[in-house]
Amino acid sequence: MSTIAILGTYDSKGVEHAFLADKIRARGHRTLLIDAGSLAQPALAVDVPSSEVAKASGRSDWQEVLKRQDRGECVSLMAAGAQKVLENLVAQGRVDGVISLGGGGGTAICTQAMRALPIGLPKLMVSTLASGNTAPYVGTRDITMMPAIADVAGINRLTRVIFDNAAGAICGMVEAAAARQAQGANSQDKPLVVASMFGNTTACVTRAKEVLEQAGYEVLVFAATGNGGRSMEALIESGLVSGVLDITTTEWADELCGGVLSAGPTRLEAAGKMGLPAVVAPGCLDMVNFGEAASVPAQYKDRCFYVHNAQVTLMRTTAAENRELGRIIAAKLNAYSRPPQVMVPTRAISVISAKGKPFHDAQADAALLQSLRDHLKPEVSLHTLDCEINDPLFAEACAKALLDAMAAAKASS
């Protein structure tokens, strides 16, 4: 029997969460009710009262905040407290999954808490905001967002169905997790390597993945689409990863130039923080991603573009931008506690930057390589290969470099 945390604002949505709790208990699971409301004491009994949640926020003035009843301030307070409470419960092994029902405030509070939990632990948010842009609520975690359809405002012919389905969903998720644990699946897992990939580096990463798998590793591939890079960095920081094959660092071109696929300024930092063996290549730093052609900022109107499809317009990076990208990436890699290996294919860093292709620009590529040479510390090895990035020789060289680095790390541990 698993225990499912039911986190929510019980002051305004107590009836709805009580209905959910009844449905979960009817399926044979225990419940643990956590009140993240800030308006008043709920009518039903909860296991973790709102005062305990507010106190867990760490703010010494939590009582004054609740008295002021400023909505934004209260949401921030309860979100911080709910995160800490839920983190502690999971760490103690008292919770096997979490579910919540909410509108705007409840969704903000409860998904902040869910984002702090490990990947794999079931998390379900039934929300009035689930049909819109859920990226701010999901972040890099495996939070399932279920549209509430109607507002979370009472039990009626519609919400009864939605909430019952939600109860069934979270119960099924925790049962699946329990079955995995009972089978000892984790003990059978191979060492894990993460890799970054884009359409223009698919052949390279696919071949490198084959080499690593033949050597006994499991390889998780992340699309370098902004959220993919953030998710990869988060998984690296989880402590589950043995090595990093960061072939496709294109997200930094978007971060520098304002493209739509930036992974943020902390991209390329996680492997260094964790001291992991890493191989890094400048895959697709020749391109910045925008939406449809009309969405490209006016400041770039005279640049070299490639229309990938009706929704994606690629812009070629210049020599000046590549010099800056080389400096930025070198600064990130210089900070690694375990120096990474940098691999550079000198004939093309993407499919479309090869000779005769739309983004071929030898001067820009040379500027990137020279900048890396100028700024990387001597401890960070830089290797150049006279081939294109999708040449099997380059893929195999990257895979071998990572295998050697992981073997060395294992031998020294």
CATH number at residue 35: 3.40.50.12020
* pLDDT above 50 (res 257): yes
Asked if residues 20 and 161 have their Cβ atoms less than 8 Å apart, the reply is no
Average per-residue pLDDT for the chain: 95
> Which pLDDT does position 188 carry in this prediction?
60
- DSSP for 160-189, please give it: HHHHHHHHHHHHHHHHHHHHHHHHTHHHHP
Q: How confident is the model at residue 14 (pLDDT cuts 50, 70, 90)?
A: very high
337 and 306 in a common domain: yes
* pLDDT above 70 (res 187): no
Most confident of 36-40, 53-57, 177-181: 53-57
Nearest CA to 204 out of 279, 271, 269, 288 is that of 279
**Total structural domains within the chain:** 2
- CATH of residue 388's domain is 3.40.50.12030
* pLDDT above 90 (res 82): yes
338 and 244 in a common domain: yes
How far is 325 from 372, CA to CA, in rounded Å? 9
Burial of 260: CB neighbours in 10 Å, binned 0-12, 13-18, 19+: middle
Q: How confident is the model at residue 138 (pLDDT cuts 50, 70, 90)?
A: very high
* pLDDT above 90 (res 151): yes
> Which pLDDT does position 254 carry in this prediction?
98
220 and 177 in a common domain: no
Other beta carbons less than 10 A from residue 350's beta carbon:
26
* Mean of pLDDT values over 370-378: 98
> Which pLDDT does position 383 carry in this prediction?
98
179 and 110 in a common domain: yes
From 126, 156, 183, the end of a domain falls on: 183
164 and 258 in a common domain: no
How far is 121 from 115, CA to CA, in rounded Å? 11
> pLDDT of 153-166, one tens digit each?
999 999 999 999 99
* Mean of pLDDT values over 225-244: 94
252 and 146 in a common domain: no
336 and 407 in a common domain: yes
* pLDDT above 60 (res 185): no
How far is 14 from 341, CA to CA, in rounded Å? 55
How far is 217 from 406, CA to CA, in rounded Å? 11
- Tokens 């689409």 locate to 225
304 and 247 in a common domain: yes
> Tokens representing 338?
């375990």
HSE-CB of 211 using CA atoms within 13 angstroms: 21
Q: How confident is the model at residue 345 (pLDDT cuts 50, 70, 90)?
A: very high
* Mean of pLDDT values over 179-198: 82
Sign of CA dihedral 323, 324, 329, 335: positive
> Tokens representing 317?
């990076």
Q: How confident is the model at residue 75 (pLDDT cuts 50, 70, 90)?
A: very high
Other beta carbons less than 10 A from residue 341's beta carbon:
21
**pTM for this model (two decimals):** 0.78
* Mean of pLDDT values over 9-20: 95
> Which pLDDT does position 44 carry in this prediction?
86
From 183, 203, 233, the end of a domain falls on: 183
From 183, 199, 224, the end of a domain falls on: 183
> pLDDT of 268-310, one tens digit each?
999 999 999 999 999 999 999 999 999 999 999 999 999 988 8
With vertex at residue 294, the alpha carbon angle to CA 292 and CA 297, rounded to the nearest 5 degrees, is 105
> pLDDT of 21-31, one tens digit each?
999 999 999 99
Q: Which amino acid is at 396?
A: E
* pLDDT above 50 (res 312): yes
How far is 229 from 221, CA to CA, in rounded Å? 10
How far is 318 from 365, CA to CA, in rounded Å? 9
* pLDDT above 50 (res 316): yes
With vertex at residue 196, the alpha carbon angle to CA 327 and CA 324, rounded to the nearest 5 degrees, is 15
> What domain range is 335 assigned to?
189-412
**Which strand (E) or helix (H) includes residue 91?**
helix 71-91
> pLDDT of 379-398, one tens digit each?
999 999 999 999 999 999 99
> Is residue 345 helix, strand or coil?
strand
The stretches of 261-318 forming alpha helices (DSSP H) are: 270-274
* pLDDT above 60 (res 186): no
